[in-house]
Amino acid sequence: MDASEQARPLSSVDVGQTVIGATVAGQQGRLAARRLRYNSSTMPKLQDKSAVITGATRGFGYEIAKAFLSEGARVMICGRSHESTGIALERLRTELGPGISDRLTGMACDTSDPDQVAKLAERAVHNFGIIDVWVNNAALSGPYGEIETIPREDVEELVRTNILGYYYGTLAALEHMLPRRGGKIINIAGLGADGRPAPFQAAYSSTKAWVASFTRSVAGEHKDSGVGVFVLNPGMMTTDMLTQVCVTSDAARERIERLPTVLRVLGQHPEVPARRAVRLASSATDGRTGLVVKVLTPWKLAALLAADLGRRVTGKKKSVPDIKITRAGPSRCDEEDGS
């Protein structure tokens, strides 16, 4: 470097680049430290905790159950039928090994029925002695289409499951948690929870807006009770709720046919948000309540968009599940899957 280069004053661009570089380096350092702290603990995060997870026979609920079991929890799952619950139990034992058998149980439960939800709680207490965590996840998405094209019975059932089901589950959990001043309730939200409109999903999105408001309100009512009440919005996931869609009109079909592109960019495997459920259920949130956790934050969105751009530049492809679209008919095309 000659004298003229040494004497050259810094320009605003140089200063800007220096500041940006320092900021990025600082962020990377903090992330590395956070990962180090995360990985430094070998103790399972939910060791000896007992959890009830509704709608856990497939999709997001199944992944939450799997994550909880992997972190040492005792887990009670439920699905709408004995068959689906039995299949899920066997699948979990196969994937996680026979060692979890004494920490895993399940039963059929229609969460829109308060008596069945009460029995679910009683069974969990009978098996585990206590309920530390209750996850309300069982939900219906309903057909996709203009509100006037959706059968009234479908909307009514959606409301019973997505609203009353969460209400009954929350009551059952509070009954066991308030007297001992401890426990955590995690209500799974979804599209509409932020209050923004969701055309063609008016009924579903409205129930998720209700879930978010209901959960924050209950948290405010019991802020000094020792019970944590949380909202978890997992974002877009590659579950049956998005890959098997029932439509009621041509306009709805046309809109859904664009979904693979959106899934390619924003879709995540449900095990990703399931890790956030673990954190909410763990000691990391002790003494806190009313948290609203969004997995798809602005930073996460930017990262997903950047990753997609990188794949397109390098020619790599992200596998996206096929979208199965059916036209609404006399038979139902929906089951519980969560969020």
From first to last of its 339 residues, the chain has per-residue pLDDT tens of: 444 334 344 344 443 444 334 444 445 555 444 443 444 457 899 999 999 999 999 999 999 999 999 999 999 999 999 999 999 999 999 999 988 999 999 999 999 999 999 999 999 999 999 999 999 999 999 898 999 999 999 999 999 999 999 999 999 999 999 999 999 999 999 998 999 999 999 999 999 999 999 999 999 999 999 999 999 999 878 777 667 788 899 998 888 787 767 667 677 888 999 999 999 999 999 999 999 999 877 777 777 677 767 777 777 776 666 778 788 754 445 444 444
CA distance 304 to 224: 38
Residue 3, class by beta-carbon neighbours within 10 Å (0-12 exposed, 13-18 middle, 19+ buried)? exposed
Residue 109, in any domain of the structure: yes
Residue 307, in any domain of the structure: no
Residue 142, in any domain of the structure: yes
3-state per-residue secondary structure call for 61-118: HHHHHHHHHHCCCEEEEEECCHHHHHHHHHHHHHHHCHHHHHHEEEEECCCCCHHHHH
HSE-CB of 142 using CA atoms within 13 angstroms: 29
Residue 260, in any domain of the structure: no
Residue 102, in any domain of the structure: yes
Residue 27, in any domain of the structure: no
Q: How many domains does the chain have?
A: 1
User: For residue 211, what are the domain limits?
Assistant: 45-237+269-297
The confidence score (pLDDT) of residue 296 equals: 76
Q: Is 167 a catalytic residue?
A: no
Which CATH number is 101's domain given?
Answer: 3.40.50.720
Residue 255, in any domain of the structure: no
The confidence score (pLDDT) of residue 151 equals: 93
Nearest to 125 by CA among 141, 108, 105: 105
pTM over 0.85: no
Annotated catalytic residue within 62, 144, 166, 204: 204
The confidence score (pLDDT) of residue 309 equals: 73
